[in-house]
Structure 1
Amino acid sequence: MENTFLEFIINLIVLVPIVILLIVISLKLSKGSLNKLSSGSYVKVLERLNLNKDICIYVIKIGKVGYVIVSSNNNTQVIKELDENEINEIVKLKKEKNDSAYLNQLNFSKLLNNKLTREKDNGHIKSDFK
């Protein structure tokens, strides 16, 4: 009984991180391929917002014109037509948001790395954690 339980725990400790790593890798690869697939497309979905499980709002760019569309299970309706300037503003804001999120992630990684490193001070190891 103890042997099988110990084997189960060891398998769990080894296999769970491997599965999580494979999930992360597959998500990163699929995101890159989806972005490449839609990058040359004439129709692009710029934003998508779920209002509830049945209703979504989309901002779609078709050529130089954009549309705000509400979609439900039974109906799809154009709410507003966007001109080229409004579309460019949305794309610019989305890019700034993505860039700032990436920079925040880098800053957090750098801060975490600095906190986890240890320095030698007069022959003793000093940790930054207090």
Structure 2
Amino acid sequence: MLTGRRFRVEFSGEQAEFAERIGAVCRAVWNTGLEQRREYRRRGAWMNYGPQAKELAEAKAEHRWLKDVPGHCLQQTLMDLDRACREHGTFRVRWRSGRRWAPSFRFPEGNKMTVESSTVATAGSSCPSWAG
């Protein structure tokens, strides 16, 4: 059985800026992926996670701003988009607006985070190296 934990992380100034950048790039990947899926559906074709992940890897070679953020966060964004499109349909999934969407992302590599205390009430967490 897989279990997950949520932690509220307090960032330093530099870490907060990097986290905002990750959130912004994840939003751009979501919106670009959604537009690509909609265009494919208009033509009667299908697009899913596999081809989009491959194209993301190719795009990272061309665009530095994609390379500057952790790749697993971008892949997780594509997985979330794939699930949303499967459950709700490509044209019912919404864009992520810069004004209405609070930047968020999941950091699936939990083994790179250390917990400072063993009690939940006072537990703090330390993020992996956030240096860009």
Q: Shorter chain as normaliser: what TM range? A: under 0.3
Larger radius of gyration: 1
TM-score normalised per structure 1: 0.27
Question: Which protein is richer in strand relative to its size?
Answer: 1
